[in-house]
Chain A
Amino acid sequence: MADTDNSDAFVAFERVQKSYDGESLVVKDLNLTMPKGEFLTMLGPSGSGKTTCLMMLAGFESATHGEIKIDGVSINNIPPHKRGIGMVFQNYALFPHMTIAENLSFPLEVRKIGKSDREKKIKRALDMVEMGDFGGRRPAQLSGGQQQRVALARALVFEPELVLMDEPLGALDKQLREKMQFEITDLAHNLGITTVYVTHDQTEALTMSDRVAVFDDGRIQQIDPPDVLYESPQNSFVAQFIGENNTMQGTVKQIQGKQCLVELDNGEEIDAAPVNVNKVGERTTISIRPERVEFNKERLHADAHTLKAEVLEFIYMGDIFRTRLRVAGKEDFIIKTRNAPDQRRLKPGEQIEIGWMPEDARALDA
């Protein structure tokens, strides 16, 4: 599952474990490598171990077992202030008793950088986040978005090669968050810095990252670029966690190469792509994205299997239509259709048949 190619690794976790109480592991056997310049997001529900991983990398938590390396050097015994890692905190952690300029000056002062150099770097960093005029203000005089920019500038002002961000956009409103997502990725790519970004917001993870590591139960469940993650989830947790998803339980009836036939619990049969199933008779969960469900029979293969469905609810959402169906005895089956001129609008009570391309429906672990 995890990436094991170490040749161009800039950051590497090798068999890292972490326990707080000596009884249970918060992080279980973590292996992860990152090439230089990558924007990697750790995504997962709270308690999944993603923040602990970040804290271990930053040096605020020590690994119970295993090694963390930066540029091939183990940093297990290097204190946080010598690691040279920029960090953006969830609450920004801007020092309230210092002005913005003083906040930015702090990492430069402790590095004993001369005054004129400091001023130059501060100005460049502030200009970079479009906060050039705010140097004399105090953090409390700035809005949340402005504080966020300053926190970013402070983490970058001493030109670290690795920047860690711990849910930095969590406190912002939706519009600002979307704007900042774009700005942060832009900045990270332009400066060529390696970024580890922690979030529990899957949209954020998908839009910003080069690769996303999905955490659950102290393990990386899948680590892949956003499109692969979305379209080819490796297990039912990832499928559930990323994006909207319809699931159906059933038993594998036959497997033919990249296609299998699953008998649902109500006796109906449907096609799927076998991912985590190996043999006939195994229990499985079929996962299908709402936008890949087709109810126009002409667009399906002639020999495709279909399911009977009853329209329960039709929701007009502007750009798309969202329709809730009763399928195989369950009432939470969602399909999404584009609001195109020729698109048919389903009516509640209507009886239809739905189907899909076999490769879109993934037969995962039960």
Chain B
Amino acid sequence: MSDVTDATTAKRGPTPDDGLRIADSKDSGPVLSADGTPLKKSLRRALRMEKLRALALIAPLLIFVMISFIIPIGEMLFRSVENQIVEDTIPDAVRELRQWDRDEDELPPEAVFEAMYHDLFTASEAKKHTRLGSRLNYEESGMSSLFRQSGRALDDLGDDYLDALEEIDPDWEEGTVWYEMMSGGEGAERDTELSSRVVGQISNLEETFLPDTDAFAPSQAISELLPRTAEAYTRFAVFEALVDERDITDRDPWENVYPALIADMKSADVSGYDGPHADMLRELKSNIDDFEAPNYKAAFAAIDEDWAAHETWATIKAHSVRYTNGYFLNAIDMKRTPDGAVSQPEDRQILVKLFQRTLKMSLIITGSCILLGYPVAWILANLPTGKANLLMILVLLPFWTSLLVRTSAWKVMLQQQGVINDTLVWLGLVGDDSRLIMMNNATGTIIAMTHILLPFMILPMYSVMQTINPSYLRAAKSLGATNWTAFWRVYFPQSIPGIGAGSILVFILAIGYYITPEIVGGTDGVFISNRIAYHISSSLNWGLAAALGSILLAVVLILYWAYDRIVGIDNVKLG
């Protein structure tokens, strides 16, 4: 034995003991592990593996929750501020509108109308103009029909110019001619900058990603000579080629290129141009004085007089920002106007009232659940296990029944010809002509929701009460306390964590409840969530729905925070 011991002491390799000895001998400097690396570092390395393993265990759930819960909810909530639709649909008009000082001028400058004409034309070809109309209609009624109608009427202006152009040369109607003129023929230098800008605009409009291929790019020369025409034609060409996937070489361009051509030709000097169909341009130039420069302002006014109204343009300008507080203002019965936030008219103020009602009724429901649940939990906690389990099944029974079925059952119970009223009439407590109205109002919602949420109150209270040793009550009584004093001063304070946990649970569930108020709530028993559902599924105003949802979420978080500050979340026990 002794030989072996000697051998190990003689061989001074790095052992954990050595590390400790080294660590002990050095008072200053970092503590080193056996192989000389700092102890902290090797501890971290040792723990990293454990952390990774733990992470790997929860990873499937984490990924599932991220994909199916957090990301969709975040995306949905993001809609409450997102407002890209205006800029995506009419990008040039929005840019031009920034120049407009609405205090100085009644109407925006002609450039705005021109940009609006081309933007709206593109949007209308893509059938996206009505979507923008609906969006703006949330803010100003009448916008939806204005946009729908204008989209149809925009062709007229171009058609008039086309007729005049054909009189000079019938080739102006030929799609092939246009394609050759705009593309500049084989080997011409291309304006790829314009092309990729247009591809970007069409991508935004279509809300998809379009590859920036060389679908079409006008020749550099024509782009410089006829900038408006080139841009209008490029929009047509890119849209038809990438979105509709058509061959554009012989397609007639959209009608908006004709007014653009006239506008360009008024100032263009075509004498030096030698691209394809230069002769047509020169011929047009010589006759250009016969054409009137397009007056977009007048054209819009002719379509609908609202286009000549200050209000219309002010609304568009006010809502052309990419991120808006408009939905949140709407959610608190205000609206974003060109002059800042103002209150909605009296008759449209319902949301704040709904929020208040939701909070008030949730509090009442929580209170009723405490009053009804406490004795039940107490009995459950004090019965022998066998009986307690039986009663617990009765408490849990509602959980195993569909929410819809339970709520419908309450409908049967509460309606005026229902079970409760029939019984009361039969007992003579209520006259047949004065049956109680217990449904389609707040009473119905409170009764049904109290019943449905009761288990969520009983379970945490029960599990807390179970942990309260009966010897506390005995001790209190042996110290001279009556049954009531013993309960109130000794038992009740110890059961408060259960009440707190149950209350948080019930209140948070109640504040977001939807099905039950929808079925038994009538009009004055509905909650804010019913309004959110309405905006999600009926009015399709998802931005407002998201804003309402965000406010609800914030209210819950604030209350949770307040509860933590006042009661302390550590005092909450769920079991």
When the two chains form their complex, are residues A93 and B480 in contact, meaning their CB atoms are under 8 A apart? Answer: no
Q: Is B494 an interface residue (CB 8 A)?
A: yes
When the two chains form their complex, are residues A81 and B490 in contact, meaning their CB atoms are under 8 A apart? Answer: no
Per-residue interface assignment for chain B, residues 465 to 491, with 1 indicating a CB less than 8 Å from any chain A CB and 0 otherwise: 000010110111111111101100110
Q: Given A89-B471, A93-B469, A110-B485, does the pair A81, B478 have CB atoms closer than 8 Å?
A: yes
Q: What separation, in Å, do the CA atoms of A59 and B494 have in the docked complex?
A: 24
- What count of chain B residues pass the 8 Å CB interface test? 19
Closest to B482 in A: A81
Q: What separation, in Å, do the CA atoms of A91 and B478 have in the docked complex?
A: 15
When the two chains form their complex, are residues A87 and B478 in contact, meaning their CB atoms are under 8 A apart? Answer: yes
Query: Which residues of B sit under 8 angstroms from A164, Cβ to Cβ?
Result: 478
Q: Is B29 an interface residue (CB 8 A)?
A: no
Query: Could you say which of B475, B477, B489, B493 has the most chain A C-beta atoms within 10 Å of its C-beta?
Result: B475
Query: Could you say which of B477, B479, B489 has the most chain A C-beta atoms within 10 Å of its C-beta?
Result: B479
Query: Which residues of A sit under 8 angstroms from B485, Cβ to Cβ?
Result: 110
Q: Is A281 an interface residue (CB 8 A)?
A: no
Q: What separation, in Å, do the CA atoms of A5 and B474 have in the docked complex?
A: 32
When the two chains form their complex, are residues A106 and B476 in contact, meaning their CB atoms are under 8 A apart? Answer: yes
Q: What separation, in Å, do the CA atoms of A129 and B169 have in the docked complex?
A: 118
Query: Which residues of B sit under 8 angstroms from A96, Cβ to Cβ?
Result: 494
Query: Which residues of A sit under 8 angstroms from B474, Cβ to Cβ?
Result: 58, 60, 80, 87, 89, 93
Question: Shortest CB–CB separation between residue A319 and chain B, in angstroms?
Answer: 35
When the two chains form their complex, are residues A107 and B493 in contact, meaning their CB atoms are under 8 A apart? Answer: no
Contact check: which of B471, B480, B481, B490 meets A84 at CB < 8 Å? B480
Question: Shortest CB–CB separation between residue B569 and chain A, in angstroms?
Answer: 17
Q: What separation, in Å, do the CA atoms of A86 and B474 have in the docked complex?
A: 11
Query: Which residues of B sit under 8 angstroms from A110, Cβ to Cβ?
Result: 479-482, 485
When the two chains form their complex, are residues B471 and A154 in contact, meaning their CB atoms are under 8 A apart? Answer: no
Query: Which residues of A sit under 8 angstroms from B482, Cβ to Cβ?
Result: 81, 110
Q: Is A111 an interface residue (CB 8 A)?
A: yes
When the two chains form their complex, are residues B494 and A97 in contact, meaning their CB atoms are under 8 A apart? Answer: yes
Query: Which residues of B sit under 8 angstroms from A81, Cβ to Cβ?
Result: 477-483, 486
Question: Shortest CB–CB separation between residue B140 and chain A, in angstroms?
Answer: 60
Q: What separation, in Å, do the CA atoms of A86 and B478 have in the docked complex?
A: 6
Contact check: which of B471, B483, B489, B493 meets A93 at CB < 8 Å? B471
Contact check: which of A82, A91, A107 meets B469 at CB < 8 Å? A91
When the two chains form their complex, are residues A106 and B489 in contact, meaning their CB atoms are under 8 A apart? Answer: yes
Q: Is A95 an interface residue (CB 8 A)?
A: yes
Question: Shortest CB–CB separation between residue A94 and chain B, in angstroms?
Answer: 8
Task: Identify which of residues 365-391 in chain B touch chain A, using a CB-to-CB cut-off of 8 Å.
Answer: none
Query: Which residues of B sit under 8 angstroms from A83, Cβ to Cβ?
Result: 478
When the two chains form their complex, are residues A58 and B494 in contact, meaning their CB atoms are under 8 A apart? Answer: no
Q: What separation, in Å, do the CA atoms of A87 and B481 have in the docked complex?
A: 13
Q: Is A42 an interface residue (CB 8 A)?
A: no
Contact check: which of A85, A90, A97 meets B478 at CB < 8 Å? A85
Q: What separation, in Å, do the CA atoms of A96 and B477 have in the docked complex?
A: 16
Q: Is A158 an interface residue (CB 8 A)?
A: yes
Closest to B468 in A: A96
Contact-residue bracket for chain A: 20 to 34
Query: Which residues of A sit under 8 angstroms from B476, Cβ to Cβ?
Result: 95, 106
When the two chains form their complex, are residues B480 and A91 in contact, meaning their CB atoms are under 8 A apart? Answer: no
When the two chains form their complex, are residues B477 and A80 in contact, meaning their CB atoms are under 8 A apart? Answer: yes
Question: Shortest CB–CB separation between residue A160 and chain B, in angstroms?
Answer: 9
When the two chains form their complex, are residues A58 and B478 in contact, meaning their CB atoms are under 8 A apart? Answer: yes
Q: Given A97-B493, A97-B494, does the pair A89, B475 have CB atoms closer than 8 Å?
A: yes
Question: Shortest CB–CB separation between residue B467 and chain A, in angstroms?
Answer: 11
Q: Given A89-B471, A110-B485, does the pair A95, B490 have CB atoms closer than 8 Å?
A: yes
Query: Which residues of A sit under 8 angstroms from B477, Cβ to Cβ?
Result: 59-60, 79-81
Per-residue interface assignment for chain B, residues 45 to 79, with 1 indicating a CB less than 8 Å from any chain A CB and 0 otherwise: 00000000000000000000000000000000000
Q: What separation, in Å, do the CA atoms of A111 and B485 have in the docked complex?
A: 11
Q: What separation, in Å, do the CA atoms of A59 and B478 have in the docked complex?
A: 8
Question: Shortest CB–CB separation between residue B465 and chain A, in angstroms?
Answer: 14
Question: Shortest CB–CB separation between residue A27 and chain B, in angstroms?
Answer: 19
Q: What separation, in Å, do the CA atoms of A361 and B39 have in the docked complex?
A: 68
Query: Which residues of A sit under 8 angstroms from B475, Cβ to Cβ?
Result: 87, 89, 93, 95
Question: Shortest CB–CB separation between residue A359 and chain B, in angstroms?
Answer: 45
Q: What separation, in Å, do the CA atoms of A360 and B7 have in the docked complex?
A: 62
Q: What separation, in Å, do the CA atoms of A9 and B482 have in the docked complex?
A: 28
When the two chains form their complex, are residues A111 and B480 in contact, meaning their CB atoms are under 8 A apart? Answer: yes
Query: Which residues of B sit under 8 angstroms from A79, Cβ to Cβ?
Result: 477
Query: Which residues of A sit under 8 angstroms from B494, Cβ to Cβ?
Result: 95-97
Task: Identify which of residues 98-133 in chain A touch chain B, using a CB-to-CB cut-off of 8 Å.
Answer: 106-107, 110-111
Question: Shortest CB–CB separation between residue A44 and chain B, in angstroms?
Answer: 21
Question: Shortest CB–CB separation between residue A88 and chain B, in angstroms?
Answer: 9
Closest to A151 in B: B475
Q: Given A60-B474, A91-B469, A93-B474, does the pair A158, B493 have CB atoms closer than 8 Å?
A: no
Q: Given A89-B474, A93-B474, A95-B490, does the pair A154, B479 have CB atoms closer than 8 Å?
A: yes
Contact check: which of A60, A91, A158 meets B479 at CB < 8 Å? A158
Query: Which residues of A sit under 8 angstroms from B490, Cβ to Cβ?
Result: 95, 106
Q: What separation, in Å, do the CA atoms of A84 and B481 have in the docked complex?
A: 10
Q: What separation, in Å, do the CA atoms of A65 and B471 have in the docked complex?
A: 25
Question: Shortest CB–CB separation between residue B408 and chain A, in angstroms?
Answer: 44
Q: What separation, in Å, do the CA atoms of A82 and B482 have in the docked complex?
A: 8
Question: Shortest CB–CB separation between residue B118 and chain A, in angstroms?
Answer: 75
When the two chains form their complex, are residues A158 and B480 in contact, meaning their CB atoms are under 8 A apart? Answer: yes
Contact check: which of A85, A91, A97, A107 meets B471 at CB < 8 Å? A91
Query: Which residues of A sit under 8 angstroms from B472, Cβ to Cβ?
Result: 93, 95
Q: What separation, in Å, do the CA atoms of A93 and B490 have in the docked complex?
A: 11
Q: What separation, in Å, do the CA atoms of A95 and B487 have in the docked complex?
A: 12
Task: Identify which of residues 53-93 in chain A touch chain B, using a CB-to-CB cut-off of 8 Å.
Answer: 58-60, 79-87, 89-91, 93
Question: Shortest CB–CB separation between residue B565 and chain A, in angstroms?
Answer: 19
Query: Could you say which of A83, A87, A106, A111 has the most chain B C-beta atoms within 10 Å of its C-beta?
Result: A106
Q: What separation, in Å, do the CA atoms of A87 and B474 have in the docked complex?
A: 9
Task: Identify which of residues 164-215 in chain A touch chain B, using a CB-to-CB cut-off of 8 Å.
Answer: 164
Q: What separation, in Å, do the CA atoms of A96 and B479 have in the docked complex?
A: 16
Query: Could you say which of B469, B477, B485, B493 has the most chain A C-beta atoms within 10 Å of its C-beta?
Result: B477
Query: Which residues of B sit under 8 angstroms from A58, Cβ to Cβ?
Result: 474, 478
Q: What separation, in Å, do the CA atoms of A158 and B481 have in the docked complex?
A: 12
Query: Could you say which of B474, B478, B490 has the most chain A C-beta atoms within 10 Å of its C-beta?
Result: B478
Q: What separation, in Å, do the CA atoms of A297 and B469 have in the docked complex?
A: 60
Question: Shortest CB–CB separation between residue B489 and chain A, in angstroms?
Answer: 7
Question: Shortest CB–CB separation between residue A5 and chain B, in angstroms?
Answer: 29
Query: Which residues of A sit under 8 angstroms from B478, Cβ to Cβ?
Result: 58-59, 80-81, 83, 85-87, 155, 164
Closest to B496 in A: A97
Query: Which residues of A sit under 8 angstroms from B480, Cβ to Cβ?
Result: 81-82, 84, 107, 110-111, 158
Question: Shortest CB–CB separation between residue A91 and chain B, in angstroms?
Answer: 6
Q: What separation, in Å, do the CA atoms of A304 and B76 have in the docked complex?
A: 102
Closest to A80 in B: B477
Closest to B471 in A: A93
Task: Identify which of residues 281-327 in chain B touch chain A, using a CB-to-CB cut-off of 8 Å.
Answer: none
Sorted from nearest, which 7 A-B pairs have the closest CB atoms? A107-B479, A93-B475, A87-B478, A93-B471, A80-B477, A97-B493, A110-B480
**10 extra A-B contacts, CB within 8 A, seeds A83-B478, A85-B478:** A81-B477, A81-B479, A81-B482, A89-B474, A93-B469, A95-B475, A95-B494, A107-B481, A110-B479, A155-B478
Q: Can you identify 12 A-B contacts, CB atoms within 8 angstroms?
A: A60-B477, A81-B481, A81-B483, A89-B474, A90-B471, A93-B472, A93-B474, A95-B472, A95-B490, A96-B494, A110-B482, A110-B485
Interface residues of B (CB under 8 A from A): 469, 471-472, 474-483, 485-486, 489-490, 493-494
Interface residues of A (CB under 8 A from B): 58-60, 79-87, 89-91, 93, 95-97, 106-107, 110-111, 154-155, 158, 164
